Chain A
Amino acid sequence: MTNENLIQYLYGIADNSLILGQRLGELCGHGPTLETDIALTNISLDLFGQVRSYFQYLAELSKDDLTEDDLAFLRKEREYKNVLLVEQPNTDFAYIIVRQYFFDVFHFMLLEKLQDSKNVNLQAIAKKSIKEVAYHQRFSGDWLLRLGDGTEESKQKAQQAVNDLWVFTDELFHVTKDDEAVIKAGHGVDVRLLEDDYYTKITNQLKQATLEVPETKYFQKGGKQGIHSEHMGYILADMQFMQRAYPDMKW
């Protein structure tokens, strides 16, 4: 495992939380109710906190004199390694919840295994983050049941979100060449081994929510290779504006 392998592996984990955190942050002041507004932005802040831990570690690993802010705000689109799922827009509350649930279940399984990593930094970050993610999963899972098994309208919207976002779930289990090296060294988690449990879990939850499980075998991919959907440029424009307009600006 080279230093560069580990750096790319870390981006693969941290960028998911960064971009999803940014998406949820867009809801600040725009949540459907005061209570869900605060809940979703709390989740966003949890994710940003986790991202900082990864990026501080990444900054240590990088040969150039980079800071966590450089990593978050000054990379180009192709250098972000998040999956396509997390960059999907806040179309409506059902999309927000389904996107969150599809990610949270994966995130929790990943952190569970990452606690046993040979890498002490990753171990520590996973141990600290997993309690936060356990709550995220409880929040989104609970809302999924309410929407699916709620009114006719909420059910229809939840089903639409499930159908549209399902195609982004498979990418969570893709492994890049960098990942492969890090897994081999015992520092990373082989996400391929989590796939069966993941689909069993979300299928059960969808059934309990009286929603149909999509049968499509066609899945979208690309984010992990840095090839993003059309939404990504807008997210970065928003996120990077301050650092681009006022380089080296500090709060």
Chain B
Amino acid sequence: MNKNWPLWEVFVRSKNGLEHRHFGSLRAADAEMALNNARDVYTRRSEGVSIWVVESKNIKASNPEHNGELFEPAADKAYRHPTFYNLPDDIEHM
């Protein structure tokens, strides 16, 4: 029998208006405990205004063995960045 509590991933929003970002993981018996633990472990130096927790097993991750087919084809397609347009001088903040 596995005596460890399940693993949870913690996402924290550091300021209103920003998105939640992955901060790390921890162990907890259920979601409520995971939230409390995340509060104690990851926000004790006022890093956050909101926390999400999700049990790690619910995350489907891409397989590193497939990196070739998944990610490498994008490497030589610089034209997918919108960097080849001439911007009129009057447009600011681009």
Contacts and interface: CB of A to CB of B under 8 A. Distances in A.
Contact of A38 (B27, B28, B40): B40
| Most chain A Cβ neighbours within 10 Å, of B5, B28, B29, B36 | B36
Nearest to A43: B40
Contacts of A142: 32-33, 36
A42 B33 CA distance: 16
B29 A35 contact: no
B26 interface: yes
B60 interface: no
Interface of B: 5, 26-29, 32-33, 36-37, 39-41, 44
Interface of A: 33-36, 38-39, 42, 135, 138-139, 142, 146
Contacts of B26: 34-35
B29 A146 contact: yes
Given A139-B36, A142-B33, A142-B36, A35 B28 contact: yes
Contact of B37 (A39, A135, A138, A146): A39
B40 A39 contact: yes
Nearest to B38: A35
A35 B32 contact: no
Contacts, number: 28
A142 B36 CA distance: 10
A163 B27 CA distance: 30
Q: Is the interface of A mostly helix, strand, loop or mixed?
A: helix
Contacts of B41: 34-35, 38
Contacts of A139: 36
Contacts of B39: 135
Given A35-B26, A35-B40, A39-B36, 12 more contacts: A35-B28, A35-B41, A36-B37, A38-B40, A38-B44, A39-B40, A42-B44, A135-B39, A142-B32, A142-B33, A142-B36, A146-B33
Nearest to B41: A38
B40 A42 contact: yes
A35 B36 CA distance: 9
A54 B52 CA distance: 36
Nearest to B34: A35
A38 B44 CA distance: 9
B22 to A, nearest CB: 18
A135 B44 CA distance: 13
A36 B40 CA distance: 8
Contacts of B32: 142
Nearest to A33: B27
B44 A35 contact: no
5 contacts: A33-B27, A35-B37, A35-B41, A38-B41, A146-B33
Contacts of B44: 38, 42
A251 B50 CA distance: 35
B27 to A, nearest CB: 7
A147 to B, nearest CB: 11
Contacts of A146: 29, 33
A33 B39 CA distance: 15
B60 to A, nearest CB: 25
